[in-house]
Amino acid sequence: MNTSTSCSTANMDRMHHLLASATHEASEAMKRWTNGQVSLTLDAVKETPLECVSEEADLGDELLTMVVLTLDGESGGTLILAFDEENGRDLAAALLNRERSSDPEWSAIEKSALNETGNILGCAYLNALTRFIGVELVPSPPYFIQDFGASVLEQALMEQAMCSETALICQTRFQRDGRELSWDVFFVPSPGMRERLDQAVAREV
Amino acid sequence: MSPSAVAQEKKHAPVNMGQHVFGQAPDRFTSVLGSCIGVAFYHPRTHTGAFVHIVLPESLGRSGPEGKFADTAIPCLIRLFQQQGIPIREIVAKIAGGASMFNSKGPIQIGEANEAAVREKLAEAKIPILGEHLQGAKGRRVEFDCSTGILRVEIAGQKPVEL
């Protein structure tokens, strides 16, 4: 196991603080995008054994609608914004100011609305991380996926799996007008990004 | 081997990354696969089965549960059958997974590498592959039934397939 990816409790607390700041910036961007309706907060940062990740993330084997942004390069990673069908449709309808679609196929404009949401949230989050770690992070264009949540998270975890038996998982809570939403965002850093984050945490000590 | 390397609950056990499980009819094992490969072993005469959720092709001296790597996972399943006195020449295999998601076109294609490693290890052990459902860009939900030896594979938006 690569011990550089294991965190002490104190370092995990500092990591939580750092990622909470990034989440706060993402939340501010999200509020602007949704006319103040939707906000997010970081609940927990955990080092989780790979085999427990889907359970910890409460993904089960259900189909989800997701927007994925990837970061290439040494400081890489994957950011996944995930919704169940109902919540994804509700968001698209609210953003497009129209009734929720009952068509089983998502239209191009609905997909575009969700992609833009992922892009805004992801770019705000990654801009904050860029400042913390001192490396410019440029994400891929967002893409829309409908798939099993656990299989998408599994793919995102591949780089971590090559050098560690654990993964860093951030649990985030979304709210709309004070009501909890069934949305999730997962940020999965590559080992190189994880090292940069650990260095940023160490600098703050 | 860590206790979490083995899916504890049988009957209808979820098998997560790097885990393996061994059982008999009426046990059923389920898993969700992306670029990982699920390998089911089956002994038709005794309705005995095993399933492993392989994450990477080679251990290369890295630590981790035996089920995580193809080169340790296949020998691990073989050993479990041998311990029950089941002849390996009577075992058959079915495999699924190995997708390449996120439009990944980089030099490291884990799904393909996993598939190649699994095929190589099964060929070495002379275990025939009776069914397979591999590659593509989508995840899979699979269920293996020890009563029938059927591996049911479901891709989002498509009709399930039985191997």
User: Which CATH number goes with the domain that contains A123?
Assistant: 3.40.1550.10
Residue A109 identity: I
Answer whether residue A88 is part of any domain: no
Answer whether residue A28 is part of any domain: yes
CA-nearest of B14, B13, B16, B10 to B2 is B16
Size of interface A-B (CB pairs under 8 A): 95
- A16-63 pLDDT, tens digit each: 888 898 899 989 998 898 888 888 888 888 888 888 888 877 777 788
- A121-151 pLDDT, tens digit each: 888 888 888 888 888 888 888 989 999 988 8
Specify the range with the lowest mean pLDDT, choosing from A62-66, A146-150, A176-180, B144-148. A176-180
Residues of B in contact with A153 (CB under 8 A): 34
**Which position has the token pair 């169940």?**
A84
The tokens of B82 are what?
A: 């041998």
**Which position has the token pair 């290439």?**
A72
Closest Cα in chain B to A64: B156
CB contact under 8 A, B34 and A143: no
Answer whether residue A128 is part of any domain: yes
Answer whether residue A107 is part of any domain: no
Q: Which residue among B18, B30, B103 places its CB closest to the CB of A61?
A: B30
Answer whether residue A18 is part of any domain: yes
pLDDT, average across residues B110-127: 94
Instruction: State residue A7's pLDDT score.
Output: 56
What structural domains does chain B harbor?
A: 16-162 (3.30.1330.200)
Phi-psi region of B43 (alpha: psi -120 to 50; beta: other; left: phi over 0): beta
d(Cα A13, Cα A156) in Å, to the nearest integer?
Answer: 24
Residue B163 identity: L
Report phi then psi at A78, rounded to 5.
-140, 135
Instruction: State residue B57's pLDDT score.
Output: 93
pTM for this model (two decimals): 0.85
Instruction: State residue A132's pLDDT score.
Output: 87
Query: In chain A, how many domains are there?
Result: 1
Answer whether residue A92 is part of any domain: no
Residue B9 pLDDT level (bands cut at 50, 70, 90): low
Across chain A, mean pLDDT equals 83
Specify the range with the lowest mean pLDDT, choosing from A141-155, A162-176, B30-44. A162-176
Residue A131 lies in domain = 3-83+113-204
Find residue B69's DSSP bridge partners.
B56
CB contact under 8 A, A51 and B63: no
The tokens of A197 are what?
A: 């984050």
Closest Cα in chain A to B65: A165
How many helices (H) and strands (E) chain B has is answered by 2, 10
Closest Cα in chain B to A167: B17
Q: Which residue among A1, A150, A155 places its CB closest to the CB of B102?
A: A155
d(Cα A115, Cα A141) in Å, to the nearest integer?
Answer: 9
pLDDT, average across residues B129-142: 94
CA-nearest of A25, A149, A44 to A87 is A149
Choose from A147, A160, A162 for mutation: most chain B CBs within 10 A: A147
CA-nearest of A180, A171, A195 to A23 is A171
The verdict on B57 touching A (C-beta cutoff 8 Å) is no
Answer whether residue A59 is part of any domain: yes
The 10 Å CB-count burial string (b at 16+, else e) for B63-78 is ebbbbbbbbbbbebbb
d(Cα B103, Cα B95) in Å, to the nearest integer?
Answer: 23
Q: Which residue among B2, B32, B102 places its CB closest to the CB of A150?
A: B32
Contact at 8 Å (CB) between B38 and B29?
no
Instruction: State residue A108's pLDDT score.
Output: 92
Answer whether residue A139 is part of any domain: yes
Checking if the pLDDT of B155 tops 60, the result is yes
